[in-house]
Amino acid sequence: MAMPKDETQKELLDAWQTYLEALSQSLKKIEDNINEASEMTDICTNEWCEATEHVIDDIANSLFAIHEPKFSSEEDSKKIKELKKRVYELYANYKDVYKKASAGA
């Protein structure tokens, strides 16, 4: 039996918002790791740096590939813009940590 349109849209909206929240939490975790590395540059080994850059790239690719559904709210649109800004800032912070660690090596 098919679900009513309103119920389907609600489920999609819930999933959409869960996805955005998961991206936000992922950014927060990687941001915490980068902040920790900035205080202890010996953490920034080649393997750590490479893995960190891959995670940032994956998150950025996910964010910039998002096709916003018609039913998303203005709040969701703002959240996506905020997440995109955060990923740019995160990448800049990562590059700064990488540069400091490379200079100290």
Structure confidence by residue, pLDDT tens digits, 21-36? 999 999 999 999 888 8
- 91 within some domain: yes
Which domain range does residue 104 map to? 74-105
- CA 25 to mean position of chain CA atoms: 7
> pLDDT digit string (tens) for 56-66?
999 999 889 98
- 14 within some domain: no
Q: Which residues contact 68 (CB under 8 A, 6 or more apart)?
A: 76, 77, 80
- 90 within some domain: yes
Say what the pTM is: 0.77
Nearest to 63 by CA among 36, 43, 39, 90: 90
- 57 within some domain: no
Say yes or no to pLDDT of 1 above 50.
Answer: no
Q: What's the total number of domains in the chain?
A: 1
Residue type for 81, please? K
- 87 within some domain: yes
Residue type for 27, please? L
